[in-house]
Amino acid sequence: MENILDANNASLVLITRNEKPNRQVIDHFLLKEFACRDMSEIVIISYKLLHHLDIARRMYGKPMIITSGYRTVSYNKNIGGHPYSHHLTGNAVDLDIPEDYSLEKSLVTTCMTVFPYCRVMTDYIHVDCR
Ligand SMILES: [Zn+2]
């Protein structure tokens, strides 16, 4: 299947995940990393998020592991996500916190510098382009 650019919102990319899950969407990030964990076929990623992730990855200079990307409404509900979560619009990702403290500090600093919104949780860092 072809990639579909949502004509109603140029900032969003809608791609069926069955197409090429290993397709690189930007340097260091594959399509499957953004896919909803419920195995749904549609993945929504905003260009704004990709832009910020790209800058953050270059600044950080190390692998960044996405633990949650796009979420469908039902999946978000199941995991107790906020009803208006930015994950629903492809505008947010959660990043794994590295075990190494200096890497953790570096990742947190990077995220706080680059993303319009960043919240450090116990196990992950939520970043979004609200
Ligand atoms: Zn999040």
Per-residue pLDDT of the chain (130 residues; tens, 9 = 90+): 344 444 444 445 666 555 677 888 899 999 889 999 998 888 899 888 999 999 999 999 999 999 999 999 999 999 999 999 999 999 999 999 999 999 999 999 999 999 999 999 999 999 999 8
Task: Report the separation in Å between the CA atom of 92 and the middle of ligand 1, taken as the mean of its atom positions.
Answer: 6
pLDDT of the residue at 9: 47
Determine the 3-state secondary structure of 91 from DSSP: coil
CA atoms of 76 and 63, how far apart (whole Å): 26
Give residue 11 CA to ligand 1 midpoint distance, Å.
19
The CATH number that domain 4-128 falls under is 3.30.1380
pLDDT value, residue 22: 82
Which residue's entry shows tokens 């905003």?
46
Coil, strand or helix: which one is 1?
coil
Strand order in the sheet with 12-16: 4-5, 12-16, 42-46
Return the pLDDT at 107: 98
Q: Calculate the CA 90 to chain-centre distance.
A: 7
Q: 90 C-alpha to center of ligand 1: Å? A: 11
- Residue 1 Cα to ligand 1 midpoint, Å, equals 29
pTM of the model: 0.87
Which sequence spans correspond to the domains of the chain?
4-128
